[in-house]
Amino acid sequence: MTGQRPFAQEIATLQRAHNSFFPRLREHRKLDRAAANIHNADPKRALVSAATIAGAYIAGGLIPLAPYFVFSAAARALAVSVAFTLLALFVFGYVKGHFTGARPIRSALQTALVGGLAAAAAFAIARAIS
């Protein structure tokens, strides 16, 4: 055992080396506690919650589809659809960051990047299948 650092010193060294990991771990614990409160939701609000979610899905689905109702040229509609979708993802990410305490611009960029990559993958798969 001579020459080995005690376990507590090793943990402290790791914590200093990875100081960004531990605050995120604490945030996850807060989210876990908040998620546990979901089970205490009022059953009378189920219909309102369902309608809210349905409305959000419809509105969210119309964002990328709306240009196809307006433009007759598919290439033009696709370009406008991509722009509207990225803008909507950016705005959603900004609002999400504002309400969750994250940096809004960073949250907006992350949401637009991940959502944009997911949309591009879905487009590529659909094009490969057809």
Alpha-carbon distance of 121 to 104, in angstroms, equals 25
Question: Is residue 29 helix, strand or coil?
Answer: helix
Question: Domains of the chain: which residue ranges?
Answer: 41-129
Give me the pLDDT at residue 29, please: 61
Give the sign of the dihedral formed by CA 61, CA 66, CA 69, CA 73. Answer: negative
Whether the pTM exceeds 0.85: the reply is no
Q: Which of 19-23, 70-74, 87-91, 117-121 has the lowest mean pLDDT?
A: 19-23
For the stretch 18-71, pLDDT in tens is 655 555 555 666 666 666 666 666 778 889 989 999 999 999 899 999 999 999
What is the rounded CA–CA span in Å between residue 48 and residue 52? 6
